[in-house]
Amino acid sequence: MAVRPITVIGHKALHQPTKRVKEITPEVRTLVQDMFDTLDAAKGAGLAANQVGVRLRIFVYDCADESGVDQRGVVINPKLEKGSVPPGDPSPDEGAEGCLSVPGEWFPTPRSSWARVTGLDLDGNEVVVEATGGTLARCLQHETDHLDGKLYVERLTPTYRGKAREAMKARGWEAAHITKWDPLTQEAEKV
Ligand code: ZN
């Protein structure tokens, strides 16, 4: 078991698109195991490879579907399909979204209620993960965004974008050069 430090907003790995996995090597398998360990230690719903600083197109998830049943797995080279995103501000009760790379913050985020991701599992077999509602539908969109180099705070409506910017400033990660945090010790790492 190896829990890896999690990158914080501002770390360059989070703001660039990741690369497709060409071959499922022993290194990729170790990475995926470490991503599950890191996700569990951080008690998150999902984790993308660039959140542990690796620029590969892989995410893991562990969250409830629309029936409240926990779903857990890995998707390599995911391709996302989603429904339309409702216009306007999402409801603060239903739309709140957080991210392990923006620790401690939550903002209502517009998302489609339906999403489907197609990719590969660790054996190279095709996997399809589909959700209509639940945390899972949100998670599939959030994690593929990560792999495209996009954070959820970039999806916010103008109402919440300003609030997010103020919160980031108050947290002071950028000013303190904090680029990672350790989910086991909760300690920040500086560059
Ligand atoms: Zn995230």
152-164 as b/e: b if 16+ CB within 10 A:
bbebbeeebeeeb
Q: Is residue 156 part of a domain?
A: yes
How many other CB atoms sit within 10 Å of the CB of residue 129?
20
Ligand 1 centre and the CA of 40: distance in Å? Answer: 14
149 belongs to a structural domain: yes
63 carries a ligand binding annotation: no
105, 126, 130, 143: the active-site residue: 143
Q: How far apart are CA 132 and CA 105, in angstroms?
A: 25
pLDDT score for 189: 86
Q: Tokens 């562990």 belong to which residue? A: 62
Q: Is 143 a catalytic residue?
A: yes
For residue 95, how far is its CA from the centre of ligand 1 (angstroms)?
A: 15
Is residue 1 in some structural domain?
Answer: no
Residue 91 lies in a domain: yes
- Rounded to the nearest angstrom, the distance between the alpha carbon of 152 and the centre of ligand 1 is 7
**CATH at 173:** 3.90.45.10
Question: In terms of pTM, does the model score above 0.95?
Answer: yes
From first to last of its 191 residues, the chain has per-residue pLDDT tens of 799 999 999 999 999 999 999 999 999 999 999 999 999 999 999 999 999 999 999 999 999 999 999 999 999 999 999 999 999 999 888 789 999 999 999 999 999 999 999 999 999 999 999 999 889 999 999 999 999 999 999 999 999 999 999 999 999 999 999 999 999 998 998 86
**Range of the structural domain that residue 152 is part of:** 6-190
User: Is 139 known to sit in a ligand binding site?
Assistant: no
Domain count, the chain: 1
Domain assignment present for residue 104? The answer is yes
Residue 42 lies in a domain: yes
